[in-house]
Amino acid sequence: MATATKKPAVKKKPAAKMVAVPSTTNTQAQLDAHERECAVRYSSVLEKLQSLHNRMWRLEGYLIFGIAAIILSKYIHLL
C-alpha cells in the first residue's frame, strides 16, 4: 500500500488593502476650503495687528507728553 503524502497547509496572505486615492476634484475642493479658512484667519490677524498698532501709537503719545510735562515742570520750577 502506498502512503499518500500530504502537503503542509500553506497559509495565504491576506490580500493587500486598496488605498483610496483622492480624486483631483476632491483635493482641489479641500485646498479651496483650506484657503478660505486661512483668508478669514489672516484678515482677523490683520485686524488685531492694526488695533495693536493704534494702541501703541496712543501709548507712545501719552509717554511723550508725560515726559514733556515732567521736563517742563522741572524747568518752570527752576525759574
Cell of 8: 503542509
List, for residues 19-52, the tens digit of each pLDDT value: 677 788 889 999 999 999 999 999 999 999 999 9
pTM: 0.52
Residue 1 confidence class, pLDDT cut points 50, 70, 90: low
Q: Which residues contact 30 (CB under 8 A, 6 or more apart)?
A: 22
How high is the pLDDT of residue 63?
97
Residue 11 confidence class, pLDDT cut points 50, 70, 90: confident
Neighbour-count burial of 2, counting CB atoms closer than 10 A to its CB (0-12 exposed, 13-18 middle, 19+ buried): exposed
